[in-house]
Structure 1
C-alpha cells in the first residue's frame, strides 16, 4: 500500500517537473523568431548586405503593421472555432470608403475613419449573423460575403479613387526612429485584444465557445452573441488595415484584395500557436507569427530570392510549424500518468 502510494506520488512529481519544463507555443514562436533573425542576418551578411540596416528594419516593421491588424482580428474568430476569408476584401473596401469620404479635405478625416469602420463592422455583423443564426459553415459564409464585396468593388471601382489628406497620410509614413507609427498603433490594438481575451468575460467566452460549443451553451454562455462579436471585431481590425493602405497610397485601391491578406493572416495565426480548432491560442503568439513572416519577406527581398521559390519556402515553414504544434498536442507522459493512477487505484482496491 505504501509502495503504491509512494510510486504514484513520485511519478506525479516527476511528470509535473517534466511538464513545467516544457515550453509553451508562444515561447517556441519567439525562439523561432530569434533563430530566423540570426540565420537570415548571417545569410544576408554573407551576400555583403545588412539585414538590420535602418531601411530593412523599417520595411520589416511596416510589413508587420499591415498584416498584424488583420491577423489580430483573425485570431479572435479562430479562437471561436470560426474563420474569416472576407478580410482581404474588407481591407480594399474600407480603403476606398475612407479615401472617397475624406475627398482630400482635412476636416473630413474623422468622417472618413468613422465611415470606413462602420462599413467594416457591418460586414462583420453580417458574417457573424450568417454563421451564428443560419448555422452556415464559416468558410462558406465568409467566402460568400467576400465574393459579394469583390463583385461590388469590381463593378463600382475601376481603379484607385478618392484622396487622402496629407494630415492622415502621416499615419502611413511617420516614424518614431526606425519604428513606424502604424506599427505602434498595431501593437496597441494587439494589447487591447490581449486584455479582452485575458481580462474580460467576452474573452473567456471566446475561449469557451472555441473549446466546446455545446458545453459553453449549457454553461450559460450566449454563443451566438460571442461569435457575432468576434466577427465584428475581426472586420474592424481589417478596416483599420484598409485605412492604413489608404494613408500609404494617398487613395483607395480596390486591388488590395489580391495581396493575399486573408490567407497570410491565417498563416500568421497558426504560426503563432493558435489552434485552427479553436479554444487555445494568444494574440502575443500571433504577433510573433506576423513578425516571422515579415522577417522572411524582408530577407527574401534582400537576397533577391525568386518569388515562386519564396512562396515554396513560406509554405514549408508553415507546414512544419503546424506539424510541430500537432505533435505537441500528444502528451505521452500525461497518458502514462493517468494509466498509472488507475492501476494504482485498482491495486489499492485489491489489497483492501
Structure 2
C-alpha cells in the first residue's frame, strides 16, 4: 500500500512536471507577441485599405513604410540600450538635428569631405552621450532631468546659431538617403545592420550582460563586481551615436542640415517603439529584436493612416491606445498568478484530485 502510494505520488508529480514543462514550452515571450501583433496589424490594415480601393502592399507604400522604419529605427535601437539600463534619453531628437547640421556644414558640398562630415557628426553625438552618461552615473542626476537638460542646451544652441537649413550634402552621400535595392532603401539595410550589432552586443558580450544586470538591480550588479557607471556611460554614448547616424540620414535626404528636425518627436516615438517592442521601462528585460518589431508596427500604422487619409489627431489617439494596450498586456503577463501556481506545483505539491492515500 505504501509502495502504491509512493508510486502514485511520483507519477502525479512527474505528470505535473511534464504539464508545467509543456506549458513553458509553448509560453510566448514579449518578442513573439510583438511579431504576432505585427502580422495581425498588417492583415487588418491591408483589408481596410483594400476596402477603400487601395493596396497597402504596393511598392510605393512599402518603400514609404521602410523609409519611416529606418529613421525611427536608428533612434529606437539606441534608446533600447539605455532603457535596458533603467535609464532614458530625451535628448536624442536634438542630437539628430545637431548632427544633421554638423554633417552638412562640414561636408559643404565637397565629396572629398564626406568622411570628415560623418566623423565630426558622430564625434559630437558621442560627446553628448558621454555628458549624459556622466551626469547620470557620476553626479547621480535623474536620467529624465539630465537628458532633458542636455537636450534643452542643444536646442538653445541650435535656435541661436542656425536660423534655418544650412550646409550642403554632396550627391555621393545623398545616395544613403535615396538609394533602394528593389523596394528596400539602403538606409533600412544599414539600420538592420546596426540593430544586429546591438543584438550581438547585448547577447554575446560582457558589456551587454552588464547592461542587463544594471537594469535588473543596480545594487546587486555593483556588489557582483559590475562597473555600473561604465555600463551606463557606454549605453548613453551608443544611444547618441545611433541618433547621430539618424541625423546623417536626415541630412542625406534633405541635402542639407535642418534644426527643426527636433520637432519630429523622435524622442517620444523611440520610447514608444521600445515599450511596444516589449522592453520594460524599469530595465533589465527586453530585446533589440522586439524594438525593431515595435518600430515596424508604428511605421505600418502611419502608412495605413496616410493611405486611408485618417485625421492626424485621431491617428495620435489610435497610436496611444495601441501603446497603452501593449504595455497593459506585458504588465499582466508579469503578474499573472497562473505561472506561479504551475511552478509551485512542479516542485512537489500533489495536484488536486490525485490519489495520495
Aligned residue for 1:306? 311
What's the C-alpha RMSD, in Å, of the aligned pairs? Answer: 1.5
**Structure 1 position 341, deviation (Å):** 6.5
1:87 aligns with 2:109: no
**Structure 1 position 11, deviation (Å):** 2.1
1:264 aligns with 2:304: no
**Structure 1 position 338, deviation (Å):** 5.0
Aligned residue for 1:46? 51
Aligned residue for 1:292? 297
Cα distance change on mapping 1:37 and 1:334 into 2, 3 Å:
closer
Query: 5+ unaligned residues in a row in structure 1: which ranges?
Result: 346-352
**Structure 1 position 15, deviation (Å):** 1.6
User: CA contact under 8 A between 1:91 and 1:256: conserved in structure 2?
Assistant: yes
1:145 aligns with 2:150: yes
How far apart are the structure 2 equivalents of 1:341 and 1:57?
48
Deviations 1:222-258 (A, max 9, x none): 0000000000000000000000000000000000000
Cα distance change on mapping 1:133 and 1:83 into 2, 3 Å:
same
Deviations 1:42-92 (A, max 9, x none): 111111111111111100000000000000000000011100000000000
Aligned residue for 2:337? 332
User: CA contact under 8 A between 1:15 and 1:333: conserved in structure 2?
Assistant: no
1:132 to 129, 132, 137: 137
**Which runs of structure 2 are paired with 1:143-222 in the superposition (5 Å)?**
143-222=148-227
Aligned residue for 1:350? none
Aligned residue for 2:120? 115
1:96 aligns with 2:101: yes
**Structure 1 position 332, deviation (Å):** 2.0
TM-score (norm 1): 0.95
TM-score (norm 2): 0.94
Aligned residue for 1:273? 278
**Structure 1 position 339, deviation (Å):** 4.4
**Structure 1 position 22, deviation (Å):** 1.4
Q: How many residues align?
A: 346
Aligned residue for 2:74? 69
How far apart are the structure 1 equivalents of 2:32 and 2:162?
44
How far apart are the structure 2 equivalents of 1:332 and 1:190?
34
Cα distance change on mapping 1:30 and 1:333 into 2, 3 Å:
same
**Structure 1 position 344, deviation (Å):** 4.3
How far apart are the structure 2 equivalents of 1:49 and 1:344?
58
Aligned residue for 1:25? 30
